[in-house]
Structure 1
C-alpha cells in the first residue's frame, strides 16, 4: 500500500496530532519541510475541541487551508461530522488523515481522505507522505528516524532498537516543567529533545551516556530563551529556569486575571503542582504581574497563594468555603465538573457574585 503525498494547500496547513512520541514524531516529519504549518496536539477526549479551534482559526484567516490529522483515529460519527463541516466552509479546505489504528477501518472505507495503514506508525506514514519534499540526505535520515519511532510505537519487541525506542517514548512524555498553556513551546522542547536523542543514537553513544548528558540537553533549550544571568546561574535549579521561562511569556491570553476585592488574581486550571508553584513565584514576586494565584482542578478544588499584604485565608473563607494562612489557603467550588479554563473562570465569577450579595 502506497502512502499518499501530504496535502499542500495554497495557504496554511493545520496539523493536528496525538500527544505521544508518534504524534509529535509525525509533526517532526512535517517540520522538516518548507510547508507553512500550524501545529496542534490533542488526546482522544480533546479531539472535538481541537477541531473546533482549528476551524475557527481557518474561518478567521479567510484563506484556503489544509487540515491534516495524524495518529488520531476518528469515530465514524466524528468523521461524518468533520467531512460535512469542511464541505460547508466558505474557503477551500483540503482534508487528510494518516493513521494506523485498526479501529478506524469503517472511516477509511467511508472517506477517501481517511488513509489507514496498520503496518506503519503515524510518524512513518507521515515521513513517506513528505519524502518527496526532502533532499536525498535528509530523506534517508528521516526515514531512519521514522522507522526507529515505529519500533517503539508498534512495540516490535524483537528489534535491536526496541529498548532505545521505548526509552525515547518515555523521554518525550516526561514532565517538561513548562506551563501547560504554552503548547507551541512545549512542542518545540519535544522536538529539541528528540533531535538530541537521535544525534546521540546515530553517533553510537550508549543510553547511559545520553542520560548523563540529559541535563545539558535540557539546559541547551533555554539558551536564548531566558536572560543570560538566569541561564548561567549555577545556584538556580534547572526546573526553576523552565518555570521562569514560562512566566516570561505568559500573559492574560494564557492566564486570566480576575479582581477579587481589588486583588489581582491569576487563574491556573489543572496545572502540575510543581510547575504552578514555580511559575507563580516568578509572576508574583519577581514580575509583579499578579498579587494572588488560584490553582483549580477539574473537581472544583482550589489552592490559593498570595503576596504579603493579601490574606488568602480570609478570601477563601469568604467565598470558597475554605481557609488557611494569609499566604496559602485552600477551598472549593460547588461546581465539581469543570471542563476547561473558561468553564473554571465562569464558575469562579458566579461564586464571587453570589458571595457579594
Structure 2
C-alpha cells in the first residue's frame, strides 16, 4: 500500500460513511466518493478511473458497503486490467455485506462478501490486518454501534439506540449537495460522526446526542457570529459557490450567469449569491429532475431567459421552467454540457437579442 493513492467509494448511509471514518485513521492519501445504488455507482467508478488514467501514481480502489451487479463487476474488472496493461499499477478491493453480490463474489478475488458483519466492521477488520492504522480509543466501540444498528440487532440495546441516533445524524445532513460539493458534503458527515463519538460513554448517550444534533450542525458551519442554522448554512454555501466561479460561470447573450445543480432553496441562496457577487447578472439552479429555477437582481429578465431556453416564465427577477428530456446526472460537468448545448442552440437561432434593464 505504500505510496498508493486510495480512491474510496462508499454508500450514502451511516454504514457507508463510517467506513470512510475508519479509513481516516490510515496514513495514505485518500479521495472519498459516495454513491447510492443504481446508475450512480458506475458514474462514480468512471470518475475514479478517469482520475487514475490522468495520474502517474499507483492507485488502490476501495469499494465499501456497495454491491456491484454482475455486469458492473465484469466491467470494472476489465477496466482495471486494461489500466494495468498500460502500466498504471492499480489494485481494487470491494468489502461488502449485501447478499445480492454473491454472484460477483464467487467470480472475482477482489470482491469480498460477508453477510454476518456490517461494512464498517469488515473495513475495520481489513484495515487492522492490512494497513497501517492509528486507531483511536473509541473506534472499536463505534464500529460495534454501527454494526448493531445496520444489522438491526435490537438485543444490543445500548449500541442499537445510539446507532439509531447516529443514523439520523447522517440522513438529516441535507444542507450540502453531494453532486455540487462532494468533498465538503462527505467532510460534513464525517465531522459530525467524529463529534458523535465523544458522547458514546455518557450516561443516556442516545438522548444527549439527540439533543446536540442541531448545535453540532451549527458549529460546523459557524465562522464567527452565531445565527440560525439556515443562515449559517446559506453563508457557507454561497462561499462554496463563489470559490467555484471559474468552473461554473455561464454566458447568455452577453449576460454573465452562474449554474448550480441540485442546490435548491434558490430564493435564499440564489439571492445571497447575487448580493455577494454583483458581477453576475443571474443564477440558475437545475434540479435532479430538470426543473430550472432562475434568479436575477435587476440586471436582466430571467423570465425572458427562461422563456427562450425552455418556454418557461415567471417574474423579471424570479422565474422557472423544465428541461424536457433532462437526464439525471451524478456529475456537474455533464449538467453544464446539457445546458450549454441549449444555450448554443438558442443563441444560434435567435441571434443577438437586446434585453431591457429592469
Q: Given the alignment, which residue of 95, 99, 102 partners 2:96? A: 99
Structure-2 change in CA distance of 1:316 and 1:163 (3 Å): same
Alignment match of 2:256 (pick from 264, 285, 288): 264
Task: Please list the CA deviations of residues 54-105 of structure 1 after superposition, one character each: whole Å capped at 9, or x if unmatched.
Answer: 1111111112111111001111221111112111212111111111011111
Whole-Å separation in 2 of the counterparts to 1:289 and 1:174: 34
Q: Normalization by structure 1: what TM-score?
A: 0.87
Q: 1:69 aligns with which of 63, 69, 88?
A: 63
Task: State the Cα RMSD in Å.
Answer: 2.2
Please, what TM-score do these two structures have when normalized by structure 2? 0.87
Residue of structure 2 in register with 1:217 after alignment: 216
Match of 1:334 among 324, 327, 333: 324
Shift in Å, 1:343? 4.2
Q: In the TM superposition, what whole-angstrom CA distance separates every residue of 1:33-52 from its partner, at most 9, and x where no partner exists? A: 21221111111221111111
State the match for 1:78 in structure 2: 72
Counterpart among 20, 26, 35 of residue 33 in structure 1: 26
Q: Structure 1's 177 and 23: CA in aligned 2 closer, same or farther, altered over 3 A?
A: same
- CA separation in 2, counterparts of 1:237 and 1:263? 34
Question: Does structure 1 conserve the Cα–Cα contact (< 8 Å) formed by 2:301 and 2:316?
Answer: yes
Aligned residues: 338
Change (3 A) 1:19 1:254: farther
Poorly superposed stretches of 4+, deviation over 6 Å: none
Alignment of 1:1-357 (within 5 A): 8-45=1-38, 46-89=40-83, 90=86, 91-132=88-129, 133-134=132-133, 138=136, 141-160=138-157, 161-180=159-178, 181-222=180-221, 226=223, 231-232=224-225, 234=226, 236-250=227-241, 251-252=243-244, 256-271=248-263, 273-274=264-265, 276-288=266-278, 290-339=280-329, 341-356=332-347, 357=349
Give the C-alpha shift of residue 281 in structure 1.
2.6
1:302, distance to aligned residue in structure 2 (A): 1.3
Following superposition, the deviation at residue 355 of structure 1 comes to: 3.3
Task: Report the more deviating stretch, 261-270 or 70-79.
Answer: 261-270
* Offset, 1:131: 2.1
Mark the runs of 5 or more structure 1 residues left unpaired by the alignment. Answer: 1-7
Do the aligned residues in 2 keep the contact of 1:304 with 1:312 (CA within 8 Å)?
Answer: yes
Residue 182 (structure 1) shift: 1.3
Structure 2 unpaired stretches of 5+ = 350-358
> What does residue 4 of structure 1 align with?
none
Relative distance call for 1:254 and 1:277 in structure 2 (3 A) is farther
Q: Conserved in 2, the CA contact under 8 Å of 1:283 and 1:289?
A: no
Please say if residues 97 and 115 of structure 2, whose CA atoms lie closer than 8 Å, have aligned partners that are also in contact.
Answer: yes
